[in-house]
């Protein structure tokens, strides 16, 4: 496994793999790896001849007052976890390699209709930062396929739309969320939780599951169920940004006849902002 810091070296390596007719899989991360990330790497390994994992804390997707400076940076420990998984290259560029003129002066990629809803309405500019850095990484790595987790469902939707709209020759693969034994989605930000908060955090998934059962039992008042979810989480000590039921395909509000839905939530607990979601396939059309 090679650790690469410079774009010229990365491109030289990937060109050689492509010259040999090998398929390159890519897993973009911000490091501080956990089992959720490792599941993405394993999925890429199963689908590709060569695997590149990027480790880059992207300044453009952090807003004012967010945790860019304190976000955990654990490159050596991350590489130790990746080594036994058959990763061929770790791309860990400095900020200046990705943003030569600084992220404030970089060309930006925006995905209208998906970037400013749900988390986008609470974190203005976040998904512009995500779409921009992923577009740049696709141009740098030139992968044949890229793997993302479904834990950040909105991020996955943004990237899929960007790939379609900008004609990137990249297959985007979504992988199911990896959870703790009590259902809490694995996240680097779980480290911010105190022991008491960590116990409370499991209520996010419990609330999603209960809401999903009500939806499947039907008929369901979507607005009332969303209000119930917010009140349920707030009553357990969260500060809920949203608890929303959307269509899986485009994250728009569901309409009568829809069957493939997703329940999404973002809630703050202590200093951590936690996100999660649960896909729901209704037995019959939504009334």
| Alpha-carbon separation of residue 274 from 92, 96, 133 (angstroms) | 26, 30, 22
The bridge status of strand 272-281 relative to strand 260-269 is antiparallel
What is the per-residue burial (b if ≥16 Cβ within 10 Å, else e) of 250-282? ebeebeeebeebbbbbbbebbebbbbbbbebeb
**Residue 126 annotated to the active site:** no
Question: Considering 2, 18, 34, 37, which one is annotated as catalytic?
Answer: 37
CB atoms under 10 Å from CB of 8, counted, come to: 9
DSSP annotation string for 104-158: GGS-----TTTSSSTHHHHSTTHHHHHHHHHHHHHHHH--SEEEEESSSHHHHHH
Query: Across the chain, which distance is largest between two alpha carbons, in Å?
Result: 58
Nearest partner of 254 among 287, 208, 216, 211, judged by Cα: 287
Q: Which residue has the tokens 């400013």?
A: 116
The span from the CA of 55 to the CA of 137, in Å, is: 11
Cβ atoms of 109 and 135 closer than 8 Å: yes
Q: Which two tokens stand for residue 175?
A: 């992988």
Residues marked as catalytic: 37
């Amino acid at each position: 496994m090679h650790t690469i810091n410079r774009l010229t070296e990365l491109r030289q390596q990937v060109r050689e793999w492509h010259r040999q007719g090998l398929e390159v899989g890519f897993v973009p991360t911000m490091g501080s790896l956990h089992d959720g990330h490792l599941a993405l790497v394993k999925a890429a390994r199963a689908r590709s001849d060569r695997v590149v994992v990027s480790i880059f804390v992207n300044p453009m997707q952090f807003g004012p007052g967010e945790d860019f400076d304190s976000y955990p940076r654990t490159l050596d420990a991350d590489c130790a976890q990746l080594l036994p998984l058959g990763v061929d290259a770790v791309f860990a560029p400095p900020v200046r390699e990705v943003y030569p003129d600084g992220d404030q002066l970089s060309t930006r990629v925006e995905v209208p209709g998906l970037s400013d809803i749900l988390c986008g309405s609470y974190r203005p500019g976040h998904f512009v930062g995500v779409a921009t850095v992923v577009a740049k990484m696709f141009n740098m790595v030139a992968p044949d396929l890229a793997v993302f987790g479904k834990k950040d469902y909105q991020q996955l939707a943004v990237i899929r739309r960007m790939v379609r709209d900008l004609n990137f020759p990249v297959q985007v693969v979504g992988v199911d969320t990896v959870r703790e034994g009590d259902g809490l989605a694995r996240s680097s930000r779980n480290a911010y939780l105190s022991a008491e908060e960590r116990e409370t955090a499991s209520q996010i998934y419990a609330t999603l599951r209960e809401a999903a059962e009500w939806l499947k039992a039907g008929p369901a008042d979507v607005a009332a169920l969303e209000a119930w979810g917010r009140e349920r989480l707030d009553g357990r000590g969260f500060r809920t940004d949203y608890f929303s039921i959307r269509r899986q395909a485009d994250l728009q509000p569901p309409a009568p006849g829809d069957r493939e839905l997703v329940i999404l939530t973002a809630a703050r607990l202590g200093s951590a902002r936690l996100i999660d979601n649960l896909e729901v396939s209704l037995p019959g059309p939504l009334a």
